[in-house]
Amino acid sequence: MLLKDKVCIVVGAASLRGIGYATAELFVRHGAKVAVVDVTMNDETTSSISASISKATGIDANVHGVPCDIQQSADCDRVIESVVKKFGRVDCLVNCAGIVKAQPLLSITETDYDRILDVNLKGTFNICKSALQVFAAQKSGVIVNLASVAAQRGGGLVGGAHYAASKGGVVSLTRSIAREFGPLGIRANTICPSMIETGMLDGNVTAKQFEDIVAAIPLKRAGKPSDIAGSCLYLASDLSAYVTGATLDVNGGSHIH
């Protein structure tokens, strides 16, 4: 077990179709104590996640569900406090929370822009800052932030320019964390997925667009949430003990650079 007795927070984990849920399930399978966090998290959702993970793994998951709007720094502080109260510490933060909107640049309104940046970039900053207060005190901790291939290639697949810019900010933010907090034994890395079959594709990609994109991927398939979860496990575990400030491409070869 790669995460035996580690306390891991997975943000953006409410959807059973999502990367966050797949990551929580894999982490439980590898011995972690997991807190699942989402703006829509409630007792019913937490129970559903626990039941699904328990059925898939044969392990009594008993995950700790915490609601949080990562746009609000006080909410993020409350999440960390809740997890520390429940488990005594925090070892890893995986932030999968994010929103996307497919729009041509000239149609992006100020409201559209603010919404995307507030969730994807400001929200990432907020939850990382809250976790880092605990990590700095205990002189250990791991952060894994989900960005996107859009941050590297300038959008063009699903999200608009505001989405690409927000995810580019996540990459830079994560590198800054790695540089500043590395001397304290804290690692921070980014994953850049591309075309993963989650609810984020709903309404943003037509069937024809999906087929065209997949046809151009060297591995000839879209990614699955479990593909990203495996990368999260690697970066969260001691297998990557000397990896920090890195950006890991998980895109089936669709963006080789």
Whether pLDDT at 143 is above 70? yes
Domains of the chain, earliest start first: 7-249 (3.40.50.720)
The pTM assigned to this predicted structure is 0.95
C-alpha 225/C-alpha 26 separation (Å) is: 11
Residue-wise pLDDT tens digits, 84-128: 999 999 999 999 999 999 899 999 999 999 999 999 999 999 999
Residue 195: predicted pLDDT: 85
pLDDT > 90 in the chain, percent: 88
User: To the nearest 10°, the Cα dihedral for 69, 12, 78, 245?
Assistant: -110
Q: What does the pLDDT read at residue 203?
A: 64
pLDDT band for position 133 (cuts 50, 70, 90): very high
> Residue 97 to residues 8, 22, 55, 238: CA-CA distances in angstroms?
15, 13, 24, 24
Of residues 217 and 204, more confidently modeled? 217
- Token pair for residue 246? 């890195």
Rounded average pLDDT over 208-237:
93
> Which pair of tokens denotes residue 18?
């999502």
pLDDT in the model for residue 211: 87
Mean pLDDT, rounded, of the chain: 95
Q: How confident is the model at residue 209 (pLDDT cuts 50, 70, 90)?
A: confident
Token pair 């990551």 is found at 23
Mean pLDDT of 171-197: 97
Q: How far apart are CA 134 and CA 238, in angstroms?
A: 19
Look at residue 200 in the predicted model and tell me its pLDDT.
Answer: 66
Q: Which of 21, 113, 163, 234 is catalytic?
A: 163
pLDDT of residue 204 exceeding 70: no
Burial of 91 (0-12, 13-18, 19+ CB in 10 A): buried
For tokens 């640049």, the residue is: 105
168 phi and psi, to 5 degrees?
A: -65, -40
pLDDT at 158: 77
- The residue type found at 16 is L
Q: At 212, is the pLDDT very low, low, confident or very high (cuts 50, 70, 90)? A: confident
Residue spans of beta strands (DSSP E) within the chain: 7-11, 33-38, 64-67, 92-95, 141-146, 186-193, 247-250
Q: Is 163 a known active-site residue? A: yes
